[in-house]
Amino acid sequence: QLAHRFGGKQIYLWSITLSGLLALLTPLSVRLGDWQLLCALRLCQGLILGSAYSAIHTLLSKWVPTKERGSMGTFCYTGLQFGSSVIMLVSGWIATSSLGWPGIFYFSGILSIIWGVIWYLFGASTPRECKW
């Protein structure tokens, strides 16, 4: 219910941005705390990203006509899975580069933060709040 209280834009923004920051901290967590800290960080990342789904539902309810919500919801959730698939495809190339395996987390973290900035600038919780 956070998305209803604070708006879908804010919850989605914070879930994606915080997840990106945690991704950037992943290599450091491995160096400092071994697997226990890594598991704790990934658990937090998963819990934070869980709020993105409720934010998407709230945004769909405000922006999309009732008859189109099913197909638009499918499109949105397919996009989330598509992003995961893309990072899986490029992760091998990144891991074999000079960045090594930490580069995978730097790449995905930076992309998440860039998306957060774009969402902050152009996203809106409701059509009434939209500046565009």
Q: Give the model confidence (pLDDT) of 79-119 as tens digits.
A: 888 888 998 999 999 999 999 999 999 999 999 999 999 99
pTM: 0.87
The residue-averaged pLDDT of 27-55 equals 92
Give CA angle at 86 (31, 55), nearest 5°: 85
**DSSP E strands, 50-130:** none
- Domain residue ranges of the chain, discontinuous segments joined by +: 2-125
